Structure 1
């Protein structure tokens, strides 16, 4: 069967900077498809992602790998074969949790496959006669050497359509993706100043987007409230008209003699009643939809309040850190001034010591001359 995609999702792809080992370097300008592949011939699981025709992720899952969630929307894992650390930024926490669960599942499957392969190698290498041990070991080890490949090479030709997988395997975001919703890497992997500024920009962008959505939903809510009142009035009028028509039909049926005119009038009235019932049903469906929109607007308002509170906490934390930095700068400046004063005092002491030594030398020479003269 070859290599087949078994799970796909979309995320922003990052790699650790090979020079600093701290900063994240984005390898894709936008969210790309990240897929788990299973090679049934080699019993190997791999994580593959393509940006156009370029493979930006080609990582074979091994039992000693660990996927770490460093934030609500960001996760990372280290690949020793590729000598790098990969990072993925997701649009929501649910996508990150799903990807982590699949990683643990396929990691366990890789471990079981490795144990089965080792058991098979041990059974195959068990000698039936003393002279066949070396031949069996070579027959087992030789295919394993052929199956290993460089971590940067793809084992089979892949296209962007094959990585996307089927509609059932593909994971689509629950909400529209905005440029501001791009997940940021973990703060632990960034320098202090860059991390705080990027967090502020990220939350400000999300807050601005939520404010815009909240304004639109508020306007829609006001408009829908007015429409609901109007539709209730129309509904009452339709109900009254339907009752009047039903009474009229009853009165016409009570009239003696079923004339052609009465039958046609009854048919028309029945048709009018059906149209009114259909209109009433449509208005009820529209009313249910507006109620759902009002509930979603309330959810957006609660999210906006929580983000505003988190932004305020972040600003307070930044102010505290700036105050600490200012204090440290002042202490450094005072220590430098004290060191300079200490150096000046040492220079003056050295000059004084030199003058005293010179005077002592002159005194010694004078005493020596006196001794010689006596």
Structure 2
């Protein structure tokens, strides 16, 4: 079976495992799937989050439970994508670009910004090893995306010879260089003073923005860890409930065994008594 068929089967399995109805998915989502002609390059299970568009500080869970997050190569557009299906839609459809960066913000949580989708995606993994594997794969795909872009640009330049025409070298530098304007009056001092003030304000603004960003990252990490702990707690409660059910069943069986033992003990006692009574009435 060709590779294209394997990829199609995998995608349909992901879709039907959620709802069993391909028609529930939007046209845009179906188009995204149709463009993915091959098997995933890499897949992992993770809890998916998106940054709150209103506050840009809090995480919003995009999935109720861990879902499959996969790297794909879109052969039609020669780009790499991260795709994840949840419910009746693709909760992640992110095109990887060379300037993207996947940042590990805690032992089991990482994030990246997608300017095209105007959002920030966050992934919470079950183990540190899974996070590291996803981070390494992100770096590899990012490098592959850079090489693909360079190759595409080279191909474009070769097919457009007008872009390769060099500028004439026989023209003097004076004919192209604009004259320098030298001002030594009070206006020049005022301009320099305003420029210095503007640079200081810009620097202060960047410093404050960095402080707020670091604070947001701390809050985001805590929320992600809390979500992971809540999920683990739910699993532990379910396991404890199952264990308690087993204990109750064991107690019930023990009571039945004790009741049966008591009944047999009474039968033995009656038999011994009857035997002794018969011996007394009919001595040998």
TM-score, reference length from structure 2: 0.48
TM-score, reference length from structure 1: 0.37
Greater fraction of residues in helix: 1
